[in-house]
Amino acid sequence: MNNDYNKALLFKQVNYSVDGLHILKNITGSIPKGKITTLVGPSGSGKTTLFKLCNGLQSPDSGDIYINDKPINSYDPVKLRRNVGIALQNAAMISGSVMKNLSLPLDLQEEKLSEERAKELLHLVGMNKDSLQRNTKDLSGGQRQKISIARTLVNKPKILLLDEITSSLDSVSRQDIEELITKINHTYDTTIFWITHNLQQAMTIGDYTWAMMDGEIIETGESNFLKDPKKERMKDFVRGEVE
C-alpha cells in the first residue's frame, strides 16, 4: 500500500497482552479514509482484540494509535465512540421496540432521538418506517443486523468497525448487508474496517485487506492479493477459498 492516502486509523508498534499472553504483536500500519478494508485471519489471531483497541474498550501496553490523525487518548470517551462505531455478529438488542433500540446511543448521552431521524435511519437501511414500533424479538437475523447498523449510524461515525456481521446470515441477507455497507461507504465516505471469515467476501467487498496470524499482521495490500498471497502461511490459509 502506498503512504499517500489520508489515514483514518494509524497503528505504530502496538502491543497488547492479557495474563502474560502476547495477543497483539507490534501492529504497524494504517487504514485509509473513506475506503473499505477487510481484516482476515484464523480464529484467535487477535482481530477482535484489535477492534477493542480502536474504540477505546482496551488500551495497548505499548505503541500508539491515531484516529483521524489525533492520538486515541486525546479523545474523550464519548467523542471517540461517536467517531468510531462498532457492529457485532450477534447484533445484541435490548428487549423492546426498534425505536427503543435505535435511541440507545443518544440515551447514553442524555439526548433524544427524534422519530423523524429514526425513520430516516430505517429508510437508509432499507426497512419500512412502520417497523419502528415492532418488537426486536420478532425480527429476522438480517433485520436485526440492519437495526444494529442503523443504531451505530445514529452518531454519524466517521469510522465503522464491523465484526463478523454477516456470518450468521443466509446468502440473501448477507448480500443485502454487503450492499448496505457499500452504500454507507459511498454516501457518507465512512471508513469501513470489516472482520470476516469469508475470504471471498473479504476480496470482493474490500478495497484493501489486512491478514492477521498469531497476533501479527502478516500481509496487506489491495484485496486482490488474496488470490495469490506471497506468504506461505497465507497461501495455506486461502487455499480453495477464493476464486
Ligand X SMILES: Nc1ncnc2c1ncn2[C@@H]1O[C@H](COP(=O)(O)OP(=O)(O)OP(=O)(O)O)[C@@H](O)[C@H]1O
Q: Which span sits near ligand X by CB under 6 A: 26-34, 39-47, 63-71, 185-193?
A: 39-47
User: Minimal distance in Å, beta carbon 186 to ligand X?
Assistant: 27
Contact by Cβ (8 Å): 27, 63:
yes
Shortest CB 29 distance to ligand X, Å: 16
Checking phi first, is residue 74 left (phi over 0); if not, alpha (psi -120 to 50) or beta? Answer: alpha
Q: Is 23 in the site for ligand X (CB under 6 A)?
A: yes
C-beta of 101 vs 198, nearer to ligand X: 198
Q: Would you count residue 85 as binding ligand X (CB under 6 A)?
A: no
Q: Closer to ligand X at the Cβ: 21 or 94? A: 21
**Host H or E run for residue 77:** helix 77-83
Residue pair 189/231 in contact (Cβ under 8 Å)? The answer is no
Which residues fall within 8 angstroms of residue 111, CB to CB, at 6 or more apart? none
Residue 131 touching ligand X (CB under 6 A): no
Q: How far is it, in rounded angstroms, from Cα 42 to Cα 120?
A: 38
Do the Cβ atoms of 65 and 9 come closer than 8 Å? yes
Would you say 46 or 142 has its CB closer to ligand X?
Answer: 46
The answer to the question of residue 204 lying near ligand X (CB under 6 A) is: no
Q: How many residues bind ligand X (CB under 6 A)?
A: 12
Residue whose grid cell is 486482490: 224
Report the interface residues with ligand X, using CB under 6 A. 18-19, 21, 23, 41, 43-49
